[in-house]
């Protein structure tokens, strides 16, 4: 074992030396902050506790398109420029691909699902999955949604309780029963609700989150997001690690606690998911009646079995973590804006028969939260051939002001989600404010030229790699 570790470390050092000799510099010396570390560049600043503040200060100080420092002295481009973003995701999308390190990391953590695929392989898999995630399919599967309020303030006219409504009711009842003080910590409840929703609607499996049950799978699921974020700074070296003759089982012997933790929780997830899939396949093969199963056989995992998709790992991560954090953020915003809270409550009480997805002010509150507090602050891409990208916002360089930017093959790009969603030129002077009414105006806000999949904001991405489950996520949050 010791010999293996020594050989691995030697091989890794050799690859890092090779990487250092190939350090990437931009063709054009863009403005940007000085690097504090050759080893990690600006990664710690961008992903730290105050990462959003750091990114905002950089763009405010140096301009909308800047040079940033990556690992081992590499330079990459960070931008909110709409023409740049549109070119990368839409106009010249064939020239820009997913980061190899990013897809390898996702594959190693979650398996070979859609999020880990690129090119034609991704296109074919997405084509198979698209029908499962259409709004029509989601509505037909879960029926018309009705809201349940705490303390029985609301009632339902629905003959059956669909999954979303049932989980909402469980959450409200659990909160009511636990009331002991005037202050309620909502994070555990939003976490429980999101996990139960993704379990029942996504996998046809109940975690019994509101009963206080603790099982290895739910504990592991709650750990994945925290551990996954810690792996992000290592993305640039993943392609080099992939060259080493390492099996998945060998990774568990590495002297890196973080890596061992990630493997432990993902192995628990995979084993549980595989067990659920085996049981569901057996039931389908034997012609069993799935009406008695959680989700009544209409959950997404059961729908994916015929196309043999390996999506359960990333689906739970994306559907659980981002949903719980967004719901918690909505509650925080409402607590700090009582006039918005009162208006939203009035709409829900007065128009409950119309269904959750038909309430305009609720929709506006959800959209505004997703705009202002996107779960991911930027999207990474890599340039796959030499090209020139147009700029909406000119950039000052030592040789003068430029309106287009030459980029060489291999250049890494970080396209800002957070600050594209807060760009004053697209969103107006109240771009940094929580103002749901912007979504109720005749002219929709944002930059429609970006061709985002959700309401002219970058929260769920753009183009062929946009989030396939964004409609499901919006239904969950609502």
Residue 73 has pLDDT above 80, yes or no: yes
Q: What is the pLDDT of residues 366-398, one digit of tens each?
A: 999 999 999 889 999 999 999 999 999 999 999
Q: Are 261 and 223 in contact (CB under 8 A)?
A: yes
Residue 4 has pLDDT above 60, yes or no: no
Q: Which residues, 6+ apart, have CB-to-CB distance to 200 below 8 Å? A: 163, 166, 167, 206, 294, 295, 299
Position 293 scores a pLDDT of 58
Residue 426 has pLDDT above 90, yes or no: yes
Classified as helix, coil or strand, 343 is helix
Q: What is the pLDDT of residues 90-132, one digit of tens each?
A: 999 999 998 877 777 777 667 777 777 788 888 887 877 777 7
Closest CA to 276 of 295, 301, 250, 251: 301
The answer to which of 228-232, 239-243, 459-463 has the lowest mean pLDDT is: 239-243
Kindly state the tokens that stand for 149.
């309020």
- Regarding predicted confidence, which is higher, 184 or 61? 61
pLDDT band (50, 70, 90) for residue 177: confident
**Mean of the pLDDT values across residues 403-414?**
95
Q: Which residues, 6+ apart, have CB-to-CB distance to 271 below 8 Å? A: none
Residue 146 has pLDDT above 50, yes or no: no
Give the separation between CA 20 and CA 39, rounded to whole angstroms.
10
Closest CA to 475 of 121, 127, 158, 201: 201
Instruction: Tell me the CB-side half-sphere exposure of residue 145, using CA atoms within 13 A.
Output: 23
Task: Name the percent of the chain lying above pLDDT 90.
Answer: 32
Residue 456 has pLDDT above 70, yes or no: yes
Residue 305 has pLDDT above 50, yes or no: yes
According to DSSP, the residues that pair with 96 across neighbouring strands are 383
Instruction: Break the chain into its structural domains and give their ranges.
Output: 2-98+373-477, 135-231+257-366
Classified as helix, coil or strand, 31 is coil
Q: Which residues, 6+ apart, have CB-to-CB distance to 390 below 8 Å? A: 83, 84, 87, 403, 404
Give the separation between CA 238 and CA 102, rounded to whole angstroms.
8
Give the separation between CA 348 and CA 277, rounded to whole angstroms.
38
Position 156 scores a pLDDT of 41
Position 149 scores a pLDDT of 36
pLDDT band (50, 70, 90) for residue 180: low
Position 201 scores a pLDDT of 75
Q: Is 467 annotated as a binding residue?
A: yes
Q: What is the pTM of this model?
A: 0.82
Give the separation between CA 60 and CA 401, rounded to whole angstroms.
17
Fold classification of 135-231+257-366 is Cytochrome p450 (1.10.630)
**Mean of the pLDDT values across residues 225-235?**
69
pLDDT band (50, 70, 90) for residue 290: low
Residue 161 has pLDDT above 70, yes or no: no
**Across all residues in the chain, what is the average pLDDT?**
79
Instruction: Collect contacts of 114-123 with beta carbons under 8 A, ≥24 apart.
Output: 114/309, 114/311, 114/314, 114/468, 115/314, 115/318, 116/314, 122/464, 122/465, 123/464
Q: Is 195 exposed, middle or buried (0-12, 13-18, 19+ CB in 10 A)?
A: buried
């Amino acid at each position: 074992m010791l010999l293996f570790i020594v050989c691995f470390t030697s091989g890794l050092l050799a690859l890092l030396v090779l990487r250092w000799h190939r350090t990437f510099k931009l063709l054009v010396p863009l403005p940007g902050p000085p690097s504090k570390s050759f080893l990690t560049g600006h990664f710690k600043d961008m992903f730290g506790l105050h990462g959003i503040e750091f990114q905002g200060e950089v763009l405010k100080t140096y301009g909308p398109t800047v040079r940033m420092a990556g690992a081992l002295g590499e330079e990459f481009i960070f931008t909110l420029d709409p023409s740049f973003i549109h070119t990368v995701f839409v106009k010249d999308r064939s020239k820009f691909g997913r980061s190899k390190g990013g897809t390898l990391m996702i594959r190693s953590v979650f398996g070979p699902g859609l999020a880990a695929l690129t090119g034609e392989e991704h296109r074919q898999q997405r084509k198979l999955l698209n029908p499962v995630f259409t709004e029509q399919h989601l509505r037909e599967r879960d029926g018309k949604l009705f809201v349940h309020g705490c303390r029985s303030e609301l009632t339902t006219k629905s003959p059956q309780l669909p999954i979303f409504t049932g989980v909402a009711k469980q959450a409200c009842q659990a909160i009511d029963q636990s009331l002991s003080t005037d202050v309620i910590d909502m994070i555990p409840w939003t976490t429980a609700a999101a996990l139960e929703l993704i379990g029942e609607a996504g996998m046809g499996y109940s975690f019994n989150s509101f009963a206080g049950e603790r099982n290895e799978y739910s504990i592991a699921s709650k750990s994945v997001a925290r551990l996954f974020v810690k792996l992000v700074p290592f993305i640039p070296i993943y392609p080099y690690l992939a060259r080493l003759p390492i099996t998945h089982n060998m990774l568990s012997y590495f002297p890196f606690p973080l890596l061992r933790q990630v493997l432990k929780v993902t192995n628990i997830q995979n084993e549980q998911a595989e067990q659920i899939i085996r049981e569901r396949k057996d039931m389908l093969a034997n012609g069993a009646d799935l009406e008695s199963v959680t989700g009544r056989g209409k959950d997404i995992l059961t729908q994916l079995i015929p196309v043999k998709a390996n999506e359960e790992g990333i689906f739970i991560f994306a559907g659980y973590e981002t949903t719980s954090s967004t719901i918690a953020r909505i509650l925080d915003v409402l607590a700090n804006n009582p006039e918005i809270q009162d208006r939203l409550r009035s709409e829900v009480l007065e128009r409950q028969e119309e269904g959750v997805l038909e309430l305009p002010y609720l929709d506006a509150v959800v959209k505004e939260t997703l705009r202002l507090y996107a779960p991911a602050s930027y999207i990474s891409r890599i340039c796959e051939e030499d090209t020139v990208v147009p700029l909406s916002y000119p950039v000052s360089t030592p040789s003068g002001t430029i309106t287009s930017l030459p980029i060489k093959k291999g250049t890494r790009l970080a396209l800002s989600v957070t600050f594209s969603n807060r760009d004053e030129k697209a969103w107006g002077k109240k771009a940094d404010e929580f103002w749901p009414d912007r979504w109720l105006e005749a002219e929709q806000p944002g930059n429609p030229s970006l061709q985002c999949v959700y309401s002219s904001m970058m929260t769920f991405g753009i183009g062929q790699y946009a989030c396939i489950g964004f409609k499901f996520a919006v239904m969950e949050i609502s």
